[in-house]
């Protein structure tokens, strides 16, 4: 990470973290207050709804007491209780009276029970008016004195009053109205033995509500989570149920998150606006702080990065204004850069002298191939220029050509300088010089880029060459170029048993084997150069002359042991 970035982050992040923490604390406190206010509102709504239900039940009770004093109803009830033989007729009479009461008072269900709670008669409102209620044997335990009652797939909310004759209680009148959650002024759920019978809370299905409400006490308020949202639930029954009807439970079920959503949206907008403004201020302060710290170093860092791309160490102005420590730093860089450049110059010179000495030492072993490596390097560079080879590849060709026969150092003089025709074993040994050259150079750091030329300059375009038998472009272009230059110099150089070929004859041979031994485009580029032997002396001729003098001096020490000639095939 850049120093400027780190400085900016160290300036910006603490302020941003403090700002973010403050916003989070304020938002949390605000949402907590909103949630608590919502809880209070939900409780108040629940209490209001319970009171309204109590008042409704009180009104229904007063109406029922009036209906319970109906003389005809009491007479029919006594008849049902005493005349067993006429019970069917008496029940129809009572059912007619109950239907009339229900129609007058707007009830959906009305039934009379004996003192023991056994249903005697009842009517239920249907689509076509009132119909007698089916008095099943198991109806008694299901019909509560107060609460909810389910029959024929419908749910009724039941209220009961006693029917008295003087001081004696002769029965009970139970009245009910069809229960519909839509009539509840808040989201609610009706459960029977823990199973959801009806629910009006939007976005919540029955199975989710059942699973969540199992954790809530039956007669207490609780908070639970459904689908990742917080819900509040409380009982809406206005009084404890009596009888077996308490299996039904009516509870509120309201989403606190949905209720708080409008407030939360407002808070988010406020905090987003304030946060963006504060963030912009924090970024501006961070940028200003980082620039005030980093700007004196920006020029130094930039120029050093440029030097990493160019490989040339920068030199900073000595008269630059700034902090004293920065001036000392740039002055130290200038001294270091000067020393490194001088060292690089000496290293390059030593490198050139070393490579040239290797090539000259090789050529000095044979008095008839002196200067071969230098000429091959010069021809190869001329071909590379004609083919518009990039500078980096051009340098690989130049040095690689100087070193292309370095492996012959590992070939015995008795083989390398033999005047007679080589045997098959000796020919095979000569063919090992590319591999030997690779092994020699791969151990020297910095020479690995020249290994393809040294190892592969005897590969043929059609795959018939050695040592790997590579075909076509499997051989690098650097080696393919050096191959043409190497063959040309071998054909045009003098030998003790023959003179070197003329330029034109050598070119015809190159063209004849273009596409088999040589790459056609390389041969064409070489032919386009003209008679390269007659070209003007290159600018580095003094260097080659000095190297040739060195080679001549080395040959003088070995002249007595050197054979008279070397076969052309061994170059």
In a domain, 505, yes or no: yes
Q: Which residue intervals of 311-371 are DSSP H helices?
A: 324-363
Model pTM? 0.42
Res. 562 pLDDT band, cuts 50 70 90: very low
Residue 297 belongs to some domain of the structure: no
pLDDT at 63 over 80: no
Contact 256, 232 (CB under 8 A): yes
231: β partners? 224, 255
**What are the backbone angles phi and psi of residue 109, rounded to the nearest 5°?**
-150, 140
Residue 281 in any domain: the answer is no
Determine the distance from the C-alpha atom of residue 403 to the mean position of all C-alpha atoms in its chain, rounded to a whole number.
50
The mean pLDDT of 356-360, rounded to a whole number, is 69
In a domain, 548, yes or no: yes
* pLDDT class of 547 with cuts at 50, 70, 90: very low
Q: Is the pLDDT of residue 81 over 70?
A: no
Report pLDDT digits (tens) over 474-514.
Answer: 999 999 999 999 999 989 987 655 688 899 999 999 999 99
* pLDDT for residue 475: 94
Answer whether 111's CB lies under 8 Å from 165's CB.
no
Residue 501 belongs to some domain of the structure: yes
Confidence at residue 384, expressed as pLDDT on a 0 to 100 scale: 94
Domain annotation covers residue 176: no
Note whether residue 150 is domain-resident: no
Q: State the Cα–Cα distance between residues 177 and 56, nearest whole angstrom.
A: 11
* Non-local CB neighbours of 28 within 8 Å, separated by 6+ positions: none
Examine the pLDDT at 463 and tell me if it is beyond 60: yes
CA angle in degrees (0–180, nearest 5) for 464-465-466:
130
The string of pLDDT tens digits covering residues 6-47 is 666 666 677 677 777 777 777 677 767 766 776 777 677 767
Domain coverage including residue 367: 346-570
Nearest to 104 by CA among 85, 84, 143, 130: 130
> Residue 312: its pLDDT value, please?
65
Structural domain contains residue 115: no
Report how far apart, in Å, the C-alpha atoms of 567 and of each of 490, 507, 554 are: 10, 20, 21
Find the radius of gyration of the CA atoms of the chain. Answer: 55
How many CB atoms neighbour CB 278 within 10 A?
A: 17
Instruction: Look up the CATH number of the domain holding residue 389.
Output: 1.10.3210.10
* Overall number of domains in the chain: 1
d(CA 445, CA 451): 12
């Amino acid at each position: 990470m850049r120093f400027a970035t780190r400085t900016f982050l160290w300036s910006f992040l603490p302020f941003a973290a403090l700002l973010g923490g403050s916003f989070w604390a304020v938002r949390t406190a605000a949402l907590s207050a909103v949630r608590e206010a919502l809880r209070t509102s939900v409780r108040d709504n629940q209490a209001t709804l319970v009171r309204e239900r109590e008042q409704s039940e009180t009104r229904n009770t007063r109406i029922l007491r009036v209906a319970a004093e109906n003389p005809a109803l009491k007479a029919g009830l006594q008849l049902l209780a005493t005349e067993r033989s006429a019970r069917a007729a008496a029940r129809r009479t009572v059912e007619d009276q109950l239907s009339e009461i229900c129609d007058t008072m707007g009830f959906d269900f009305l039934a009379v029970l004996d003192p023991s709670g056994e249903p005697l008669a009842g009517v239920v409102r249907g689509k076509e008016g009132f119909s007698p209620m089916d008095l099943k044997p198991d109806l008694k335990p299901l019909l509560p004195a107060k609460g909810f009652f389910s029959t024929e797939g419908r749910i009724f909310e039941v209220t009961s009053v006693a029917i008295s004759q003087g001081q004696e209680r002769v029965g009970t009148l139970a009245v009910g109205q069809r229960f519909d959650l839509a009539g509840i002024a808040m989201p609610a759920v009706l459960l029977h033995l823990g199973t959801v019978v009806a629910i009006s809370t939007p976005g919540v299905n029955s199975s989710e509500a059942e699973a969540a409400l199992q954790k809530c006490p039956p007669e207490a308020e609780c908070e639970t989570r459904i689908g990742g949202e917080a819900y509040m639930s409380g009982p809406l029954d206005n009084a404890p149920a009596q009888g077996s009807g308490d299996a039904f439970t009516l509870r509120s079920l309201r989403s606190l998150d949905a209720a708080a959503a409008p407030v939360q949206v407002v808070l988010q907008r406020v905090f987003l606006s304030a946060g963006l403004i504060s963030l912009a201020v924090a970024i501006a302060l961070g940028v200003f702080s980082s620039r005030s710290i980093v700007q004196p170093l920006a020029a130094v860092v930039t120029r050093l990065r440029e030097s990493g791309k160019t490989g040339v160490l920068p030199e900073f102005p000595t008269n630059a204004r700034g902090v004293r420590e920065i001036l000392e730093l740039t002055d130290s860089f200038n001294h270091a850069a000067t020393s490194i450049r001088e060292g690089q110059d000496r290293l390059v010179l030593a490198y050139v002298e070393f490579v040239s000495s290797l090539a000259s030492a090789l050529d000095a072993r044979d008095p008839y191939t002196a200067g071969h490596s230098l000429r091959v390097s010069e021809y190869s560079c001329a071909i590379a220029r004609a083919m518009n080879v990039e500078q980096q590849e051009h340098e690989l060709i130049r040095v690689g050509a100087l070193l292309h026969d370095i492996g012959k150092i590992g070939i015995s003089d008795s083989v390398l300088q033999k005047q007679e025709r080589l045997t098959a074993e000796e020919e095979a040994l000569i063919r090992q010089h590319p591999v030997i050259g690779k092994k020699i150079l791969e151990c020297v750091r910095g020479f690995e880029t020249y290994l393809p030329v040294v190892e592969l300059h005897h590969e043929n375009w059609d795959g018939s060459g050695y040592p790997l038998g590579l075909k076509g472009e499997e051989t690098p272009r650097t080696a393919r170029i050096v191959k043409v230059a190497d063959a040309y110099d071998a054909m045009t150089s003098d030998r003790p048993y023959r003179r070197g070929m003329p330029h034109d004859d050598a070119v015809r041979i190159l063209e004849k084997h273009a596409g088999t031994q040589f790459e056609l485009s390389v041969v064409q580029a070489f032919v386009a150069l003209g008679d390269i032997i007659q070209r003007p002396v290159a600018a580095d001729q003094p260097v080659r002359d000095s190297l040739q003098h060195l080679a001549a001096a080395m040959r003088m020490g070995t002249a007595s042991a050197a054979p008279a000639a070397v076969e052309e095939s061994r170059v």
